[in-house]
């Protein structure tokens, strides 16, 4: 077989192999006529197959797109002319375009010497939508029907893939620019090198068996990890395709490799997020059940405390029990914060003010050997978060930093505003800005094996009894629920950096709320006198009994219902009912929120409040706009009194 025939066979084999890569590809010459393409190009852009021929002019593709509305309104020929003139400049270009069908395509064009250009089209829709799995598989399919090997090199050097050819003696006969540079060679110097001289010894142990497989006539895929001289570690996914001649012999193999390092990072991040989501659901459910139990325990203990004030011996047993139950309530609230089940009251918060308050508190409480500093880059930013939760999160991070410092050290709050990333090129939108609040310390650092578990509930490296293991879990939940992010970087002996990314706020302070008008409905709650009939709706009999006792102690009369249907029947039949207090999670088809809306429709003057042990009973948007006060279980009689005062005054 002569060299020309052998070269053609190799080109056809390379084309067939490149056709396995999920990426479109075209080559236009200096006259803007198509001389190379692949099937994926026509699949991605949904062009008719009658255009898939050598000599089709660039304008035909532009006209087809314009006619089907790809470029918006306007004169079709003018739209085509603009794009043809732009292409004729043969300048490098890279942009993303959202098609009317919703797909996002990454288009990258590279000019060729003497005119013409090669263009790749990559569907990055899933990457942009989920931001969890980054598909790094990029390569180029080419069909250079009558091109020389020199033209083939020009094309392969433009694709973001590592491409090479190895003969039966395991000697490189071809390598594109990316492949050569990845291994520290020039294109001209890697040719003629033996494979074992190019690969490190440890990597060669992984690669050698697969080369044997390919040279025996079988396609094989594998992955390996290589550390570069700079210390950077890269994960490479490689496929070897045997070069079979007409005589049935294997003359060598084609190598196509992709850098999948970033994809692996994204995969690991996705697995971590899924794990945290599962743990969050579990902890949220447990917290809900515990809150119901604690409501009964605390309510009965407080009732017993009221009735035994004259007996100090009894009170001596009751007070520690109440204190322990309240600590249990605090624990469930932390669990709900981690599980993102506790509603947040987002508002404009001045970061500088929050950090100044925390810094003052730390300087008073920390030993003089630990320095607390603040660095705010640029103008003091504001964030859109729950102020109390932000303060708790930063205090948790600062106390962790304190515990990591043995003797003298420094804790630094470093604040800067992250630049907004640009939106798609055909829009004026940009991604919203974020503020990074970074807490740095010069402490002992964190071991690598500990880092993946930092946000797990109850995970702690502190001595038994000195930490609950919920501090960072709470911060993680707060960041996620605030549409933010938390990152940790640390190494033993190098201190720790915890970066809390939160959405920036540019909104002015909210104006004062106007006073609400009071209805003249005879059920109106704007009465100066306390008391009246309360309809208590709760399916848990033990909880209902405790809350009933709290209402009686405040001077109210109480009617009880254990489901929404019974409650609506009582609302219709009993005009003396002034207040409706309902649990959110209710049996049947109507939950507490739907019951409240329906009851308010039937009796506009009815005062309504909701109680819950599981804050996700309200969706995020409903928490913000919920027109009714919400009490979280377990709650004290004073907390109940405060809500009833609001209902009494109509505030």
User: What is the pLDDT at residue 418?
Assistant: 79
Residue 160 backbone phi and psi in degrees, to 5: -80, 60
Residues 162-187: pLDDT tens digits? 989 999 999 999 888 888 988 889 98
Across residues 395-416, what is the average pLDDT? 87
pLDDT bucket at 457, cuts 50 / 70 / 90 = low
Q: Which of 411, 378, 608 is nearest to 497 (CA)?
A: 411
pLDDT at 413: 92
- The 3-state DSSP class for residue 10 equals helix
What's residue 469's pLDDT? 57
Q: List, in order, residues 6 or more apart from 484 with CB less than 8 Å away.
A: 385, 434, 478, 500, 501, 502, 503
pLDDT at 1: 58
Dihedral of CA atoms 357, 360, 366, 368 in degrees, nearest 10, equals 150
The sign one gets for the Cα dihedral 54, 60, 64, 70 is: positive
Task: Report pLDDT for 618.
Answer: 46
Average pLDDT taken over every residue of the chain: 78
pLDDT of amino acid 526: 36
CATH tag for 346-424+431-503 (out of 3.40.1190.20, 3.30.565.10, 2.40.420.20, 3.40.50.1980)? 3.30.565.10
Structure tokens at 129: 């939508």
pLDDT higher than 90, residue 212 = yes
The structure tokens 């255009």 sit at 51
Could you report the per-residue pLDDT of 506-526, keeping only the tens digit for each?
776 555 444 444 344 434 433
Residue 271 is predicted with a pLDDT of: 66
Encode pLDDT of 459-486 as tens digits.
Answer: 666 654 445 556 677 788 788 888 888 8
Using the predicted structure, report yes or no on whether residue 420 has a pLDDT greater than 80.
no
Per residue in 577-620, pLDDT (tens digit) is 999 999 888 777 788 888 999 998 889 889 999 988 765 444 33
pLDDT value at residue 456: 74
- Of 510-519, 558-567, 601-610, 642-651, which range is least confident? 510-519
Q: In the structure encoding, which two tokens stand for residue 167, read together?
A: 């003969």
The top-level CATH class assigned to 533-649 is: alpha beta
The predicted structure's pLDDT at residue 620? 37
| pLDDT > 60? residue 196 | yes
User: For 592, what's the count of Cα atoms within 13 Å in the CB-facing half-sphere?
Assistant: 31
Instruction: Encode pLDDT of 92-147 as tens digits.
Output: 888 888 877 788 888 899 998 888 888 888 888 877 776 544 433 333 343 434 44
pLDDT at 379 over 80: no
Segment 27-35 shows an average pLDDT of 90
CA-to-CA distance for 323 and 636, rounded, in angstroms? 13
Residue 205, token pair as written in the block: 């142990």
Query: What mean pLDDT comes out for the span 195-218?
Result: 91
Comparison of pLDDT for 520 and 531, the residue scoring more: 531
Decide: 38 and 143 in contact? Cβ < 8 Å.
Answer: yes
58 versus 460: the higher-pLDDT residue is 58
Given this model, what pLDDT does residue 464 score?
47
* Radius of gyration for the chain, computed over Cα atoms and rounded to the nearest angstrom: 34
CA distance 29 to 118: 9
- DSSP string of 27-69? EE-TTSBEEEE-HHHHHHHT--GGG-STT-BHHHHHHHHHHTT
Q: Write out pLDDT tens, residues 287-315.
A: 666 667 677 777 777 777 777 776 777 76
Which residue bears the tokens 């009751």?
A: 318
Secondary-structure class of domain 161-259 per CATH: alpha beta
Asked if 505 and 384 count as a contact pair (C-beta separation under 8 A), the reply is: yes
Is 1-152's fold the same as 533-649's?
no
Q: Which CATH number fits domain 1-152: 3.40.50.620, 3.30.450.20, 1.10.1060.10, 3.40.50.1240?
A: 3.30.450.20
Which of the two residues, 87 and 150, has the higher pLDDT score?
A: 87
Kind plus residue range of the DSSP H or E element containing 26: strand 24-28
If pLDDT is split at 50, 70 and 90, which confidence band does 527 have?
A: very low
Question: Are 348 and 509 a contacting pair, CB within 8 Å?
Answer: yes
Residue 425: pLDDT band with limits 50, 70, 90? very low
SS3 of 445-480: the string is CCCCCCHHHCCCCCCCCCCCCCCCCCHHHHHHHHHH
Domain ranges of the chain: 1-152, 161-259, 281-338, 346-424+431-503, 533-649
- Please state the rounded mean pLDDT for residues 551-563: 88
Query: How far is Cα 396 from Cα 374, in angstroms, rounded to an integer?
Result: 17
DSSP 221-277: EEEEEEE-TTS-EEEEEEEEEEEE-TTS-EEEEEEEEEE-HHHHHHHHHHHHHHHHH
């Amino acid at each position: 077989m002569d060299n020309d025939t052998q070269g053609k066979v190799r080109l056809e084999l390379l084309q067939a192999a490149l056709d396995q890569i999920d990426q479109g590809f075209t080559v236009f010459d200096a006259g803007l006529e198509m001389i190379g393409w692949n099937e994926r190009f026509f699949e991605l852009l949904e062009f008719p197959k009658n255009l898939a021929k050598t000599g089709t002019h660039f304008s035909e593709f532009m006209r087809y797109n314009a006619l089907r509305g790809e470029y918006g309104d306007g004169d079709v020929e003018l739209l085509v002319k603009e794009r043809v003139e732009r292409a004729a400049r043969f300048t490098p270009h890279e942009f993303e375009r959202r098609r009317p069908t919703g797909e996002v395509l990454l288009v990258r064009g590279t000019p060729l010497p003497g005119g013409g250009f090669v263009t790749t089209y990559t569907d990055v829709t899933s990457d942009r939508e989920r931001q969890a799995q980054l598909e790094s598989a990029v390569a180029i399919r080419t069909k250079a029907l009558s091109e020389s090997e020199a033209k083939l090199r020009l094309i392969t050097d433009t694709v973001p893939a590592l491409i090479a050819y190895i003969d039966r003696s395991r000697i490189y006969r071809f390598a594109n620019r990316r492949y050569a540079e990845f291994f520290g060679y020039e294109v001209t110097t890697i040719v003629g090198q033996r494979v074992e001289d190019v690969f490190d010894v440890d990597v060669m142990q992984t690669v050698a068996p697969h080369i044997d497989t390919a040279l025996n006539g079988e396609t094989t895929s594998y992955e390996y990890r290589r550390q570069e001289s700079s210390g950077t570690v890269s994960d490479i996914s490689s496929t070897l395709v045997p070069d079979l001649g007409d005589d049935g012999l294997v003359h060598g193999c084609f190598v196509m490799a992709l850098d999948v390092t970033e994809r692996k990072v994204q995969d690991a991040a996705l697995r971590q997020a899924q794990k945290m989501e599962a743990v969050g659901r579990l902890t949220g459910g447990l917290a809900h059940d515990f809150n119901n139990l604690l409501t009964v325990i605390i309510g009965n203990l407080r009732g017993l405390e009221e009735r035994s004030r004259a007996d100090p011996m009894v009170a001596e047993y009751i007070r520690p029990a109440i204190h322990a139950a309240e600590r249990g309530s605090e624990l469930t609230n932390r669990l709900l914060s981690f599980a993102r089940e506790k509603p947040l009251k987002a508002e404009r918060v001045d970061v500088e003010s929050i950090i100044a308050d925390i810094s003052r508190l730390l300087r008073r409480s920390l030993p003089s050997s630990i320095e607390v500093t603040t660095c705010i880059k640029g103008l003091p930013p504001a964030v859109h978060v729950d102020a109390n939760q932000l303060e708790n999160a930063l205090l948790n991070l600062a106390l962790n930093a304190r515990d990591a410092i043995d003797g003298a050290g420094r804790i630094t709050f470093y604040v800067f505003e992250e630049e907004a990333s640009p939106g798609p090129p055909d829009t004026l939108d940009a991604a919203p800005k974020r503020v990074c609040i970074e807490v740095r310390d010069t402490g002992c650092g964190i071991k690598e094996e500990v880092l993946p578990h930092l946000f797990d509930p109850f995970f702690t490296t502190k001595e038994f009894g000195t930490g609950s293991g919920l501090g960072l879990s709470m911060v993680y939940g707060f960041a996620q629920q605030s549409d933010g992010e938390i990152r940790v970087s640390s190494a033993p002996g190098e201190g720790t950096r915890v970066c809390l990314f939160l959405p920036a706020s540019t909104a002015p302070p909210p104006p004062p709320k106007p006073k609400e008008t009071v209805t003249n409905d005879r059920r109106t709650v704007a009465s100066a006198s306390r008391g009246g009939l309360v309809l208590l709706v709760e399916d848990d009999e033990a909880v209902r009994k405790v809350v009933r006792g709290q209402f009686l102690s405040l001077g109210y009369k109480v009617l009880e219902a254990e489901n929404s249907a019974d409650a609506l029947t009582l609302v219709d039949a009993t005009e003396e009912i002034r207040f409706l207090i309902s649990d959110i999670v209710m049996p049947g088809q109507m939950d507490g929120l739907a019951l409240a809306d329906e009851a308010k429709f039937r009796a506009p003057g009815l005062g309504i409040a909701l109680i819950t042990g599981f804050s996700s009973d309200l969706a995020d948007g409903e928490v913000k706009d919920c027109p009714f006060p919400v009490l979280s279980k377990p709650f004290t009689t004073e907390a109940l009194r405060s809500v009833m005062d609001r209902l009494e005054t109509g505030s």
